Amino acid sequence: MALLERQGESAATIEDRFTRVDDESALPASGGILVSLPRFQADREALLAREGELGVWLASNESPRDFEKADLGKFALVALDFPTFADGRGYSSARILKERFQFKGEIRAVGDVLLEQLPFMLRSGFTTFETEESGFLEGFKAVVSEVRVVYQPTGDGRATAIDQRLSRG
Amino acid sequence: MYHYDEYDHALVQDRVAQFRRQVERRIAGELTEEQFRPLRLMNGLYLQLHAYMLRVAIPYGTLNSPQMRKLAYIARRYDKGYGHFTTRQNLQYNWPKLEETPDILAELAEVEMHAIQTSGNCIRNTTSDQYAGAAKGEIEDPRVWCEIIRQWSTLHPEFSFLPRKFKIAVTGCDDDRAAVKVHDIGLIMKRGEGGEAGFEVIVGGGLGRTAFIGKTIRDFLGKEDLLSYLEAILRTYNQLGRRDNKYKARIKVTVHETGIEEFRNLVEEEWRAIKDSSLKLPKEEIDRIAKHFEPPAFRVLEDEAPDVDARMKSDPGFAAWVHHNCVDHKIAGYEIANISLKPVGQPPGDATADQMDAVADLAEEFSFGELRVTHSQNLVLPHVERAQLPALYDKLAKHALASPNVGLLSDIICCPGLDYCALANARSIPIATRITERFASQERLDMIGEMQIKISGCINACGHHHVGHIGILGVDRKGEEHYQIQLGGDASENAALGKILGRGFSADEVVDIVEKIVDIYLEIREDGERFIDTYRRVGQSPFKEKVYGTA
């Protein structure tokens, strides 16, 4: 399992600053932690008061809408799960987080995260990728630049075909 | 029609290169079939019963002569010399070799075509009225909006892994030839209170295992808001649609289970948040695309064509062809000419490479180089001078393309069925060909009048059996092919789903049963009544009694 972070047009392997804490375990005294949505809802006050970075993990049937907007500003990380690559709910969640709620923290793709899905994930706002696929890092750059044109505006700031047509005059 | 600019070209070319790399990785064994499957499906490449099948998108069913020639060339060079036009206005090649598919896509890219999103759980090729730009009473050419949707939906990052496939249809007039009410989203162009053009938005229609007529989610949507509204519907569906059961994953089930009121509330809430985002269409871009669909240089002509009338009097075959295959054009002196791909005894929708070349030539000679594919698996020359109809007819006849049966009983819609398809339970093509052989007499076809028979080889309903006046569904009964009959379906603006008549029939019996149903209709119809009208008047009972011999 590797954790990769987008850095411009390529990526680098990074250390995971967050420890996954399951719903029954006690919270570690310090350091970043990643908890489930039910755990966050059950322990909200303790978690928000705690020292150290907080991340929340959303299953694909959970939504950023399940948070209070004010709470979101306190998260350093939201991890969105892909139970299989074919379950595309995470793309909507990432866009809602980034574009609707202006979430500025890390948006991490976890679960069945494949190289071929990467262009869609980057466009939707994901910044880090937890993957088991070998060759993900090596393939990153090639896959990202493979299709030069985008048609849809998303929060990734890329100029769409329409933008380019209009600015061309 | 639309022509690619540098951006459209770049995207399609990049996509070809990407697929070439993916195929190379598959052939080298770096990708397993399981890993390769979703990648090939995103480029329209299926694995069927006997071979790969490549589905080529014909955006909203419009193509020009060079494109048709390229399709013919590919059929000859890479396939067995023919192609199959589908109910979604696309073209399928049934025998491509895996290693050659990137070359086929590169050939297509040369003529501004592709196979992107002709498969998979994404937004598929948008379909439209085959008479767009030629039809009387059209508010605007709907293809402008189809092209805008095509671009927006192509490689959409959020909507490439939906719960299930997603089909949008657009019509520009009240006569619905695009079956918009049985699509995931149907758009009907209409005028708002101030006379401005916009859309009625219909959601949640569909055929398949559970058929629904779509419901109106918004009475009127302004044009500039089209993409934000579509995005709001898709986002709501992407999050809400069921992923636990693929038979309940289409938006029709989401809308049905959520209720249209609640679904509308969710969509409208989402829409308010994104309505004024960069999805709002700039007028310059709408105008740029609309320019591509400006009418060709029509001549000023008399409506009357005495030579045509004389030929009709002396040649009943020609008269039947004009009567059934030609439709009034919005411009005086022009006709819309349908080319039937339903000759007696042939698979519906198939065309040989030679026929495709011939049609490409005829389009250039008679119709400004423009062609259409219809959802009933025929072709159209949209802009033919009425005075030229005899010349066109004679040339079509030389290529076995002059069957005068559009809209008649032998104009059957039919899926590929168990002859090709890995999902099918029963063959559908042989049933269709046997029906056309049984009803080969033109006199009899004329006497029966308008009749739509639609045949699907399984419950997925690619042959639209639910909306056939007579629908035939192939099922598997203890390892044998068996056929259920439904009556009373309708795909028009009066959309209705057919009702199952009763127990099914064997492949041997089914043609006799169709004939029996037709005979009952002929016996009980009133003057000028089409089959569907008679059925609506009398219901199922008279048919049921005679077919099953019960009271």
Of B154, B157, B279, the CB nearest to A91: B157
Nearest residue in A to B283, CA atom:
A166
Cβ within 8 Å of A, B 39-78: 39
What's the ipTM? 0.97
Chain Cα centroid distance, residue B462: 10
Q: Which of B2, B4, B6, B7 is the best substitution to test chain A (most A C-beta atoms within 10 A)?
A: B7
Q: pLDDT at position A169, please?
A: 44
Instruction: State the count of interchain CB pairs (< 8 A) between A and B.
Output: 97
Q: Which two tokens stand for residue B218?
A: 């918004």
**Residue B159 and residue A86: Cβ atoms within 8 Å?**
no
Q: Under 8 Å CB-to-CB from B286, ≥6 apart: which residues?
A: B144, B148, B223, B224
Secondary structure (H, E, C), A106-147: EEEEEECCCHHHHHHHHHHCCCEEEECCCCHHHHHHHHHCCC
Longest dimension (CA), chain A: 61
Q: Which residues of A touch B276 (CB under 8 A)?
A: none
Q: Which residues of A touch B282 (CB under 8 A)?
A: 162, 166
Can you list the residues of chain B whose pLDDT is less than 70?
A: 550-551
Q: Which of A92, A96, A141 is the best substitution to test chain B (most B C-beta atoms within 10 A)?
A: A92
Of B39, B157, B243, the CB nearest to A152: B157
Among B317, B163, B344, smallest CA distance to B244 is for: B163
Of B18, B39, B157, the CB nearest to A124: B157
Q: Which of B159, B161, B162 is the best substitution to test chain A (most A C-beta atoms within 10 A)?
A: B161
**Unique residue bearing structure tokens 């009544």:** B529
pLDDT confidence bin for A168, thresholds 50/70/90: low
**Residue A147 and residue B5: Cβ atoms within 8 Å?**
no
CA distance B431 to B453: 11
Residue B317 contacts A, CB cutoff 8 Å = no
What are the pLDDT digits (tens) for A77-109? 999 999 999 999 999 999 999 999 999 999 999
Pairing of strands B470-477, B370-373: unpaired
Q: pLDDT at position B549, please?
A: 85
Q: pLDDT at position A28, please?
A: 92
Percentage of chain A lying above the pLDDT 90 cut: 82
Q: pLDDT at position A143, please?
A: 87
Q: Under 8 Å CB-to-CB from A51, ≥6 apart: which residues?
A: A29, A30
| B491/chain A closest Cα distance in angstroms | 32
Contact in structure between A32 and A26 (CB atoms under 8 Å): no
Hey, which bits of B192-310 come out as E strands? 197-203, 215-222
Q: Which residues of A touch B235 (CB under 8 A)?
A: 92, 95
| A148/chain B closest Cα distance in angstroms | 6
Chain Cα centroid distance, residue B66: 21
What are the pLDDT digits (tens) for A11-23? 999 999 999 999 9
Q: pLDDT at position A133, please?
A: 86
Q: Which of A61, A69, A91 is the best substitution to test chain B (most B C-beta atoms within 10 A)?
A: A91
Nearest residue in A to B156, CA atom:
A152
Among B485, B500, B319, B342, smallest CA distance to B407 is for: B342
Of B8, B18, B285, the CB nearest to A147: B18
Residue B38 contacts A, CB cutoff 8 Å = yes
Q: Under 8 Å CB-to-CB from B177, ≥6 apart: which residues?
A: B129, B130, B131, B135, B171, B374, B375, B492
pTM value? 0.94
Residue B279 contacts A, CB cutoff 8 Å = yes
More confident: B35 or A75: A75
| B151/chain A closest Cα distance in angstroms | 6
The amino acid that residue B541 corresponds to is S
Q: What is the length of chain B?
A: 551
Of B39, B158, B285, the CB nearest to A91: B158
Of B154, B239, B288, the CB nearest to A92: B239
Nearest residue in A to B232, CA atom:
A92
| B158/chain A closest Cα distance in angstroms | 5
CA distance B42 to B154: 11
Of A87, A92, A153, the CB nearest to B279: A153
**Residue A149 and residue B38: Cβ atoms within 8 Å?**
no
CA distance B130 to B427: 28
Inter-CA distances, B3 with B249, B293, B457, Å: 35, 10, 37
Inter-CA distances, B253 with A112, B124, B249, B427, Å: 27, 18, 7, 28
Q: What are phi and psi of B357, to 5 degrees?
A: -60, -40
Of A120, A121, A165, the CB nearest to B285: A165
**Unique residue bearing structure tokens 């758009």:** B187
Of A88, A100, A146, the CB nearest to B161: A88
Q: Which residues of B touch A152 (CB under 8 A)?
A: 152, 156-157
Of A92, A162, A166, the CB nearest to B238: A92
**Residue A151 and residue B11: Cβ atoms within 8 Å?**
yes
Q: Which residues of A touch B160 (CB under 8 A)?
A: 88, 91, 120
Q: Which residues of A touch B15 (CB under 8 A)?
A: 147
Nearest residue in B to A122, CA atom:
B157
**Residue A87 and residue B243: Cβ atoms within 8 Å?**
yes
Contact in structure between B70 and B111 (CB atoms under 8 Å): yes
Nearest residue in B to A59, CA atom:
B239
DSSP secondary structure letter of residue B412? -
